[in-house]
Amino acid sequence: MSRKEFITANTQVFCVIGYPIEHSMSSIMHNVAINELNLDCVYLAFKIHPKNLKFAVKGFRAFDIKGINVTMPFKQKIMVYLDEIEPLAQRIGAINTIKNDKGHLIGRNTDGEGALKSILDAGYSISGKNILLLGAGGGGRTLAFILAEYANKMVITNRTEKKAIKLANDIKKYYNINVEGKSNSFNVLKDESKGADILINTTPIGMYPNIEESPIPDKFLHDGLIVFDIVYNPLKTKLMKEAAKIGCKVLGGLDMLINQGVLAFEWWTGKTPNNQLMKAKIMEYLRLK
């Protein structure tokens, strides 16, 4: 047994925060990567009530937590408490990763790069496609900005229509793309799904434990669609199962999770983790549930 297998006062701490946090697989994939590389680190998950977010950020500095992943609902709210935001994340208006550089907290967004890589690795083209994006929260903003560079048209829907419209207007400031923000009403989803080439769900609808929910009625899906659900727990959401039955090409959120995690890990430690081991460990865990 090596000394690095013991947690001591020298062990560096990394974490993920969210509310809820029970669904997160981040600690599973990061700890297996840490162990394989024999690093003196540990990765934990913290459930932070929204009213305590400011105090949590103070805690990152006080406890010298070296790296932090951020999940819902904090990807946008946490930005005001950080010292520096990388340019792309500033443009997006959401972060998912923080690096603690001697008390100086830097925010970055690795979600978009991770999502783009997972789409391209699956063999799907984005160039010139019409995208129907469900959700205008942190995940929605990230994918909208990343994909706007390649897509022909994008329609963003959200429960609060004003939020979708604002995101569409924000994108127009930087990209020459036909983009609209609309409500996620029955009629909008029905009409906009007809001309879509790619449907992307960035909402938590269908995420564990609410696995019998779907963000769009299955009768609006058609076999010409590529359906990408960024939810990764469960591995196959109700949306993905319904889409596959209809003949759609489907992609889940696990590879996006792994890809963004690899980028964060490299940023924090300077080491490249084994992405296949990280993926295998999460799949092993989910099969035990």
Return residue ranges of the chain for CATH 3.40.50.720: 112-252
What does the pLDDT look like over 243-267, one tens digit per residue?
A: 999 999 999 999 999 999 999 999 9
CATH architecture under which domain 3-109+256-288 falls: 3-Layer(aba) Sandwich (3.40)
For residue 204, say if its preceding peptide bond is cis, omega within 30 degrees of 0: no
Burial class (CB in 10 A: 0-12, 13-18, 19+), 219: exposed
Confidence of residue 23 (pLDDT cuts 50, 70, 90): confident
CA distance 156 to 200: 10
Residue 141 CA neighbour count, 13 Å, CB half? 22
CA distance 18 to 25: 12
* Kind and range of the H or E run holding 144: helix 138-147
What does the pLDDT look like over 80-92, one tens digit per residue?
A: 999 999 999 999 9
Give the chain's mean pLDDT.
95
**In this structure, what are the phi and psi dihedrals at residue 163, rounded to the nearest 5 degrees?**
-65, -40
pLDDT(37) > 90? yes
CA distance 85 to 181: 26
**In this structure, what are the phi and psi dihedrals at residue 156, rounded to the nearest 5 degrees?**
-110, 125
Among the four given CATH numbers 3.30.390.30, 3.40.50.720, 3.30.365.10, 3.80.10.10, the one describing domain 112-252: 3.40.50.720
CA distance 213 to 49: 25
The pTM score is 0.90
pLDDT(288) > 80? no
Considering the chain, what percentage of its residues have pLDDT values greater than 90? 90
Catalytic positions are 75
CA distance 260 to 34: 16
How many CB atoms lie under 10 A from the CB of residue 288? 5
Q: Is the Cα torsion angle 72, 175, 157, 115 positive or negative in sign?
A: negative
Of residues 179, 214, 221, 176, the one with CA closest to residue 198: 221
CA distance 81 to 88: 18
pLDDT for res 287? 79
CA 202 → CA 151, 227, 283, distances in Å?
17, 11, 21
Return residue ranges of the chain for CATH 3.40.50.10860: 3-109+256-288
Q: Which two tokens stand for residue 116?
A: 């783009």
Going by their DSSP bridges, the two strands 249-251 and 67-70 should be labelled as unpaired
CA distance 227 to 202: 11
pLDDT(70) > 60? yes
What does the pLDDT look like over 154-196, one tens digit per residue?
A: 999 999 999 999 999 999 999 999 999 999 999 999 999 999 9
**Whether the Cβ atoms of residue 228 and residue 95 lie closer than 8 Å to each other:** no
